[in-house]
């Protein structure tokens, strides 16, 4: 299938899930994850109407951004962030989904160009308490949310999660429900959060059932990635 056909199919599944799980129509935003795929494939998706793309590696993303300078694309950074790489990320992206510590947030805020609007960020949570994974532990979340909310050049939009792989819908939804509960707890405390970035190709319907507002789909749109 072509990228355009895959996109049509994924969008139809998103709309079906919105309706099945009593979500507002068009409340789920599709982020096309294009890491390890060419600028040519991104252009194909763009020409089929997709305008938001997620990338994990800043140099790869910046090269593609140059090749696609004629396209009105919204760029989202979703990869892990080393503190010496915050400057190009603050300069080249509209969103960062993967903020998991204060030092990174402070650097992104300080390095966000004055000519750009504040950078939209999500905090990545480590919901399964996996030692090897990135993301803030839920016990440290409230403190981090308070600190990041105070940073002038960032707009904190909500939470992001990459759960441990689960094949089963019920297990997938259980984890996404826990992330949604964390978000609603923060909203109850007065934080203005409107984004839950959760759901990938294998689990996005469970994420939508749990309240996701951004699904991040790579394989379902572009096919398997080369190693």
Ligand X SMILES: *Cc1c(COP(=O)(O)O)cnc(C)c1O
Summarize as ranges the residues that interact with ligand X (CB under 6 A): 33, 35, 56, 78, 162, 200-202, 216-220
Closest approach of ligand X to the CB of residue 33, in Å: 4
Closer CB to ligand X, 23 or 216, in the complex = 216
Closest approach of ligand X to the CB of residue 17, in Å: 15
Closer CB to ligand X, 80 or 111, in the complex = 80
Closer CB to ligand X, 73 or 153, in the complex = 73
Closest approach of ligand X to the CB of residue 222, in Å: 8
Closer CB to ligand X, 34 or 86, in the complex = 34
Closer CB to ligand X, 90 or 162, in the complex = 162
Closest approach of ligand X to the CB of residue 79, in Å: 6
Closest approach of ligand X to the CB of residue 193, in Å: 19
Q: What is the DSSP string of the chain?
A: --HHHHHHHHHHHHHHHHHHTTPPTT-SEEEEE-TTS-HHHHHHHHHTT--EEEES-HHHHHHHHHHTTTS-PEEEE-S---GGGHHHHHHH-SEEEEE-SHHHHHHHHHHS-TTSPPEEEEEEE-TT--TTS-SB-GGGHHHHHHHHHT-TTEEEEEEEE-PPP--SHHHHHHHHHHHHHHHHHHHHTT----EEE---TTTHHHHHHHT-SEEEESHHHH-PPP-
């Amino acid at each position: 299938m072509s990228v355009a056909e895959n996109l049509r199919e994924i969008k139809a599944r998103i709309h079906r899930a919105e309706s099945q799980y009593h979500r507002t129509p068009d409340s789920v935003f599709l982020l096309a994850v294009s890491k390890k795929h060419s600028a040519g494939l991104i252009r194909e998706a763009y020409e089929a109407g997709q305008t938001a793309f997620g990338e994990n590696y800043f140099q790869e993303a910046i090269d593609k951004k140059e090749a696609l300078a004629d396209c009105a694309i919204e760029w989202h950074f979703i990869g892990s962030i080393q503190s010496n790489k915050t400057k190009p990320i603050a300069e080249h992206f509209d969103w960062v989904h993967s903020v998991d510590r204060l030092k990174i947030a402070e650097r992104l805020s300080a390095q966000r160009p004055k000519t750009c609007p504040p950078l939209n960020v999500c905090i990545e949570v480590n919901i399964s308490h996996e030692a090897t994974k990135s993301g803030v532990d839920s016990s440290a979340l409230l403190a981090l949310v308070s600190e990041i909310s105070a940073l002038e050049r960032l707009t904190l939009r909500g939470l992001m999660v990459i759960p441990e792989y689960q094949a089963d819908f019920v297990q997938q939804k259980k984890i996404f429900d826990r992330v949604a509960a964390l978000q609603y707890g923060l909203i109850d405390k007065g934080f203005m959060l409107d984004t839950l970035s959760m759901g990938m190709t294998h689990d996005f319907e469970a994420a939508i059932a749990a309240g996701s507002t951004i699904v991040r789909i790579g394989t379902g749109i572009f096919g398997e990635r080369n190693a």
